[in-house]
Amino acid sequence: MIKLNNKFTLKNGLTSTVVFACLWFVSVAFVHPYYVSVTEIKHNAVKKTVEISCRMFTDNIENAIEKLNKTQLDLLHPKDRNEANKLLLDYINKHLVIKVNQKIITFKFIGYEKEEEAIWCYLEADNIENVKNILIENSLLYDFLPAQINMMHITVNDKRQSTKVTNPEKKAEFNF
């Protein structure tokens, strides 16, 4: 190494300032992580259903459910898949309320699957012929993560609308 103007030049030509800047950026990224979930809602006019998918980071949802229920949960390797499904559905029911045309819908839990560091939860509501209005109260992970952001994408009649809510805000309305 050669010292030049209080900077060090490394073998590959990088200066110590560049290396320091890179290390600082990486450390800040890990100290201030982002907490984001995604909820997709689609009206299937042919089947007369509303299909709901929620993507949440696995460790965040596990920690939130563990905190709420005082029980250990491993979604990737559950001891009892039915119990894991029940815990997920109970949590989602408490934190995701959807009104279609001013009526609260009841959804059934289809299942969940892993995608990288997250899981997708799949739900469905039957007997919904048309959708003119959707009101959502989405507080997924708010009780566990004060900096949580929840993205929502709604598709009705091939028209997509999107928004986000940031803790403590939780309501969003979509008109079609």
Evaluate if residue 2 carries a pLDDT over 60: no
Which pLDDT value is given to residue 139?
Answer: 97
| Mean pLDDT score of the chain | 86
Task: State the pTM of this model.
Answer: 0.79
Once rounded to an integer, what is the mean pLDDT over residues 113-137?
96
Which pLDDT value is given to residue 18?
Answer: 52
Which pLDDT value is given to residue 137?
Answer: 98
Q: In which element (H, E) is residue 22 found? A: helix 16-31
The number of beta carbons lying within 10 Å of the beta carbon of residue 51 is 17
Percent of the chain exceeding pLDDT 90 equals 77
Which pLDDT value is given to residue 149?
Answer: 97
